[in-house]
Amino acid sequence: MDLLRRLRDRLLTDDPLVRAMAYQSVLSAFGEGAFLTGSAFYFTRIVGLSATQVGLGLTIAGVVTFAFSVPLGKLADRVGTRRTWVLGSLLEALLFGSWLLVGGFAGYVAVTIALELAQTWMRAGRNAYRFAVFPRETRVRSLAYMRAARNVGYTLGAAAGGLALAAPSDGVMRSVPVVTAVLLLLNTVLVTRLPRLPAEERAAPATPLEAATSRGRRPRDPRAALRNRPFVLATALDGVLGTHQVLLNVVIPLWLVQETDAPPVLLAWLFGTNTVLAVGLQVAAARGVSDVASSMRAEYRGAACFVLSCLVVLVTHDTVGWVTIALVWFGHVTVTGAELFQSAGQWGLQAELSDPERRGEYQGVAGLGYTLGTVWAPAVYTFLAVRHGAVGWLVVAGIVVLAAVGLGPTARAAERHLMRVTGGLGEPSATAAG
């Protein structure tokens, strides 16, 4: 038992709060992953939608969510980040269960919009809570444990969803929304057991701005997250660096199938490798990330891995046999490195560049910036790589380099803006001190 306990502590950390939140991450990701794996089958075969209707519904929900991202972040601050996480998790569970009641396109769109809004609100509260509850020195490392735990949960959930899809009748798949809802209700219970933040245990008095607003006047708020324009731009540039997921899940698989002689079965090994590395190395990739300077170093490492992946994969059009297999695999490993380092840098930047009293609002703005940085990537990257070959891959690499070059000065400008409008309320970083 002693050996098992030491192994558990090594893998899951000996911090009880991090461990509790890691368990919660596994459970919520398992529930979501189980449904998402079979969602295309569920919506087309059981609800009776066409593939076009499924895609249109997701697009509509995406547009609505984009419009409400910042207001939902502000609401998270007003309600309290932990309360938002609890209520959002509860809504998410109920909405997954409501898929049983959907029988047409209108219902599908309504539930999809409601679910996207609930999850956006929940994530604003969850992320803001995580930024606030952990000390600066251990914050990013703690988030890395949770990211690794979510990867474990999604993998297990995908396996469960696959078993449901393999069942001889549709009855098993019909039960998946119920199972997901129950798991997410249990997740809500786990979230309620997390410690309260001191700032949320007491009602905050109305600020002069809020008092003026309640009397009908709406003065310009210099601390509003949207007024930190460098922060919006920084999140958009970081979103460009985050398009490694497009490379990982869309472009490299299409390239492998259409432009190389590698066997399609290699895709299973690629995604398996990515899962193992994401679980096993995320904490190591986040080591030492605690301020803006160290976050930027992680972002640069991620960008370097991204560019290296492009350069490796582009030559596989002309290679054959085992050389192609080895190079495509190495390209997938390097883009996984981009995922690990960029995630760590992103957490550090968002935590350091957010007003501590408006973390939810800043998370809403971060969602806007990230969407602006990523929404175009699937179409553009696929067009460049598949239609234009080596030249297209070099253009993709160039886009990443430009984003990385622009992110550093933009992040420092966002930090200066935050220090100016808060009067030093934010957590000073190494770059601020310098």
For the segment 251-262, what is each residue's pLDDT rounded down to a tens digit?
Answer: 888 888 888 888
Mean pLDDT of 104-118: 93
Can you read off the two tokens belonging to residue 178? 């119920």
- pLDDT higher than threshold 90 for residue 97: yes
38 in Cβ contact with 161 (< 8 Å): yes
Report DSSP letters for 15-58, one per residue: -HHHHHHHHHHHHHHHHHHHHHHTHHHIIIIIS---HHHHHHHH
- Do 177 and 97 meet the contact criterion of CB atoms below 8 Å apart? yes
Residue 356 φ then ψ, to 5°: -55, -25
Name which of 112-116, 290-294, 392-396 the model is least confident about: 290-294
Helix (H, G, I), strand (E, B) or coil at 353: coil
Highest mean pLDDT among 278-282, 300-304, 325-329, 386-390: 300-304
Rounded Cα gap, residues 53 and 61, in angstroms = 12
The reported pLDDT for the residue numbered 427 is: 54
Nearest partner of 93 among 194, 161, 177, 176, judged by Cα: 177
Q: Which amino acid is at 421?
A: V
Query: Mean pLDDT throughout 273-294?
Result: 88
Res 9: pLDDT: 52
Count of helices and strands (H, E) across the chain: 18, 0
* End-to-end C-alpha distance for the chain, whole angstroms: 49
Hey, what amino acid is at 234? A
Mean pLDDT of 187-204: 76
Find the angle CA(136)-CA(361)-CA(402) to the nearest 5 degrees.
Answer: 75
